[in-house]
A and B are shown apart, each in its own frame.
Chain A
């Protein structure tokens, strides 16, 4: 399991606007390309990119689209789940633990790894399509988040991480 060699969450960083992409090849095991952290309400708490040659939309649109996609995908997976007999309706917003959730999806150009904490914090890591299972890396990032961000007395929940 390779952890990405990118900036840690505690580094002094500019605000949530995309930081300039690190040139590919820097850092060992740099497999990660983009990282997003969202809270329950869709506020993007953190966005980091290390290797993103193509930007289709401006940052706010991009965040909204990403959040919307994940929201609908969760609803979709919980409805299409073949192992549970009773399912809610499609339009109803789901609580963090409710219903079967997906942990990754793959396309031909990227792989998106997803993790949702019980408090509704969503972590998204976009990597190369042939990367292995990243659930442990995401847990590790979540632990960093808890350690340094949540326990920071000066941090106001719901605002972008600085």
Chain B
């Protein structure tokens, strides 16, 4: 099948709770509890990494490189974190995260029925996100 450049996307609110999780082709099934736990774990580790910085002004982990995957994280000024698990060496992930952030502000925050810090259940957000991911995939395959 098509090469999944992105394996999954997580969005965490400023207290560390998972508000959005989308899986695009990971090998193992991850149930809701696991994804919640992983999100909070990431939130705490992001905070701890700021404490261990040798120079002042650290804003947390941007990129985690492992043997089988990469993890790119983007933290907005309000503390909401967006992170994607992708293939090792996948290009332009930071760009993608910024685009997702824009979609979040347009379709989630501007939605009058959306409560802050709650799980995201906005159709338009899902739709547009799927479009962006699809376009990204096509761009990568087209190369």
On chain A, the residues within 8 Å of B63 by CB distance are 105-106
Interface contact A102-B64, CB-CB below 8 Å = yes
Sorting the interface of chain B by its residue count into under 10, 10 to 19, 20 to 34 or 35 or more gives: 35 or more
A54 to chain B, nearest CB (A): 5
At the interface, yes or no: A86 with Cβ under 8 Å from chain B? yes
Interface contact B53-A54, CB-CB below 8 Å = yes
Total contacts A to B, CB within 8 angstroms?
125
Q: In the assembly, what is the distance between CA of A49 and CA of B55, in Å? A: 12
Interface contact B28-A66, CB-CB below 8 Å = no
Contact residues, B37-92 vs A (CB, 8 A): 37-38, 41-42, 44-45, 48-69, 71, 85
Interface contact B66-A90, CB-CB below 8 Å = no
On chain A, the residues within 8 Å of B67 by CB distance are 100-103
Known: A69-B52, A86-B28, A107-B50. A80 touches B85 (CB 8 A): yes
Interface contact B27-A84, CB-CB below 8 Å = yes
On chain B, the residues within 8 Å of A81 by CB distance are 28, 66, 68-69
On chain B, the residues within 8 Å of A46 by CB distance are none
Nearest 3 A-B pairs (CB), nearest first?
A: A82-B26, A82-B7, A102-B66
Listed in ascending order, the chain A residues whose CB lies under 8 Å from chain B are 33-34, 49, 51-54, 56-57, 62, 65-66, 68-69, 72-73, 75-77, 79-87, 90, 100-110, 112, 126
A-B contacts, 17 of them at CB < 8 A, read A53-B55, A56-B51, A56-B52, A69-B49, A72-B45, A76-B38, A79-B34, A83-B26, A100-B66, A101-B67, A102-B67, A103-B66, A105-B61, A107-B59, A107-B60, A110-B58, A126-B54
